[in-house]
Chains A and B, each alone.
Chain A
Amino acid sequence: MTDVLVCIKRVPGASGEVLLSDDGQRVDARHVGWTLSAHEECAIELATQVAGATGGTATVLTVGSADAIEQLRDALALGCDRAVLVEAETDRFGPVDVAAAIAEVVRAHEAAGTSYGLVLLGNDAADTGDFQVPVRLAYALARPVVTGIATCTVEGDLVVAHGDGPDGPETFELPVPAVVAVMEGGVAPRYPSVMGRMKAKKVAIEQVAAEIEPVGSGRVRLTLPPEQPSQVQVLGQGADAAPAVVDLLEELGMVSR
């Protein structure tokens, strides 16, 4: 039986125009809304698979504001059994702080009788993209960690994880308990069922406050990359443009004759 903890983050939606707050300290998601990243949707899927296969539980956790309950409910609807909100002013949090806040909960739950044999996280957050929380968490808990993982299973006392390495597909075998950072592409996240959504509404969410003094993220400010004025040269409409395209290909030296 493996109890799995999966850590997720509420992030700005992907499609549409990204705006920034006036002080340049945060993304203004007014037009794009909030969502879960693809890596984390896959991590949730793997968490429920491992919990299901081993007869354990899947607990979803986020460090964030109370608004992030929306994403916790989404994860519950996808099959997680329990949810934890670690309330924190995440604007002041860097990867060191988020990892410390998660580690606190892992230790507290262990003291209360639930030890997580597997902790899953997204490989990197869709917004801050720090690539560090899984590794820093693993060190805080003195557990082994791998990142960039597409699929994983728990077989006895081993977490067997697969990812794509520079020389081909790679397999890792880590002793339980372990930390695994998931990259999208290995599993297809499921869609929530109506039943799942109904069940998710009824689950009581554990709420704790992060008891740490943050070291911060080092952020000075955010800016939008300068938008280049369009310089596009339209070669034509429809199939009639084909000769002009091939002229261009020849000009660029792309066609061997």
Chain B
Amino acid sequence: MIAVLVETDADGVLVVSQEALTFGRGLAERAGGVPLHAVAVGRPGEEPPAVVLAQLGEQGVASVHHVVDDRLTAYSAAAWAAALVDVAHSAGAAVVLAAGTPRGNEVLAHTATRLDVAMAANVVGIDAVGADPGDPLIVTRQVVGGAVLEQMQLGDTVAVLSVAGHAVEPAAAATATTPEVVEFSPTMTDADLVARVVRTGEKVPDASGALTSARVVVGAGRGAGSADGFKDVVRLSELLGGAVGVSRVVTSLGWRPHHEQVGQTGSRISPDLYIACGISGAIQHWAGCSSAKTILAVNTDPDAPMVTRAHYAVIGDLHEIVPAINDELDARRT
């Protein structure tokens, strides 16, 4: 079977985890229809929420391994990995995968180390599954911030891999399932609980969550010129009900907070529309915005990579163009 670690929040299964499930299902089908299982860490004394079960059923999950243990109320990567290793052994996993989130990659690194097998991070595709059990799995993954693809062989008993954000779109299975729920408490030692969260602070209301789920992101880079150069960009994002995203130059210079950074070392976004103003489109930035459905670039340089890769562009100074767009929006609204 193929085991997918899923992360959940108040709304159910995270979109990236749904992507990982869709990816896992594709792999399961190519491997000749092996079952797809999910592993979710729950709260002791509680069933998995109905919305989570419905979403897992939609993805064609046969079984949910529901981890319930008082020792897991605070996150610890080693403890989560202990749970994955238990599932891999007890249910005979050929592949263990998760979304390539910070949590996903951390837990999988522990899991691969504990299983003494290789791990492939940020996988975007499957090249070969192999006809027989034990045949190597060959995957393609992103390296160098997405500028290069690596074909990698996972030749071990259990293949461990994380799925790059937006490598696939979440898609429902042809036939939905009613997943069976298997509650269990993993085998752990005290050492597995040493590196656990001791405190969680107040979430900054407009931290990167708003950015990654926004339908519209208005981005600005060095072209904004200064910390004061974002007024029009912020106003445009407000007019469109979107979020602000920036390049690394902008956060490095302290013009805007780090949680607004888009790219390899920032957030990966997939809005319906990304308006990139004064951003050159360096590969590390592109790695975070290439999944936008439509990209509109505003740039003085018609040859900037962001312009040549965009769907639409306006050539010129963002400090003239963005206020004009805002005015036009205001004018048509009244």
Contacts and interface: CB of A to CB of B under 8 A. Distances in A.
Given A14-B145, A18-B147, A228-B309, A165 B332 contact: no
A200 B9 CA distance: 48
A249 B120 contact: no
A126 B195 contact: no
Contacts of B149: 222-225
A255 interface: yes
A110 interface: no
B195 to A, nearest CB: 4
A171 B197 contact: yes
Contacts of B207: 164, 168
B283 A174 contact: no
- Residue among B103, B109, B119, B329 with max Cβ neighbours from chain A (10 Å): B109
B106 A220 contact: no
Contacts of A38: 248, 265
Interface string B305-334: 001111111111100110111011100110
Given A27-B148, A234-B314, A168 B200 contact: yes
Contacts of B84: none
A42 to B, nearest CB: 10
B314 A145 contact: no
A113 interface: no
A43 to B, nearest CB: 13
A165 B76 CA distance: 12
B171 interface: no
B138 interface: yes
Interface residues of B, number: 93
B258 interface: yes
Contact of B265 (A39, A144, A249): A39
- Residue among A20, A124, A223, A239 with max Cβ neighbours from chain B (10 Å): A239
A147 B102 contact: yes
A135 B110 contact: yes
A14 B284 contact: yes
A170 B199 CA distance: 6
Interface string B278-310: 000011100000000010110000100001111
A173 B201 CA distance: 15
B219 to A, nearest CB: 15
B151 interface: yes
A194 B43 CA distance: 55
A126 B144 contact: yes
A109 interface: no
Interface string B149-161: 1111111000000
Contacts of B315: 234, 236-238
Contacts, number: 243
Interface in B123-156: 138, 141-155
Contacts of B314: 234-238, 241, 244-245
A130 B105 CA distance: 9
Interface string A163-200: 11111111111110010000111001000000000000
A221 B273 contact: no
A162 to B, nearest CB: 9
A218 B282 contact: no
A136 B113 contact: yes
Nearest to B138: A220
B85 interface: no
Contact of B328 (A39, A224, A225, A242): A242
Nearest to A228: B309
Contacts of A250: 332
Contact of B313 (A128, A135, A188, A235): A235
Nearest to B258: A185
B25 to A, nearest CB: 24
Contacts of B199: 170-171
Contacts of A172: 195-198
B53 to A, nearest CB: 21
B118 A218 contact: yes
Contact of A129 (B75, B122, B282, B325): B122
A254 interface: yes
A120 to B, nearest CB: 15
- Residue among B154, B252, B307, B312 with max Cβ neighbours from chain A (10 Å): B312
B111 to A, nearest CB: 9
12 contacts: A130-B121, A139-B113, A144-B78, A145-B195, A170-B199, A218-B152, A219-B150, A219-B152, A224-B148, A230-B308, A231-B311, A245-B328
* Shortest Cβ-Cβ A-B pairs, 6 listed: A242-B324, A239-B324, A168-B203, A238-B316, A135-B109, A169-B201
Given A132-B121, A135-B113, A169-B200, 9 more contacts: A130-B121, A168-B204, A170-B199, A185-B261, A218-B153, A232-B312, A238-B321, A249-B329, A252-B273
Interface of A: 12, 14-15, 18, 20, 27, 38-39, 94-96, 124, 126-132, 134-136, 139, 144-148, 163-175, 178, 183-185, 188, 217-225, 228, 230-246, 248-250, 252, 254-257
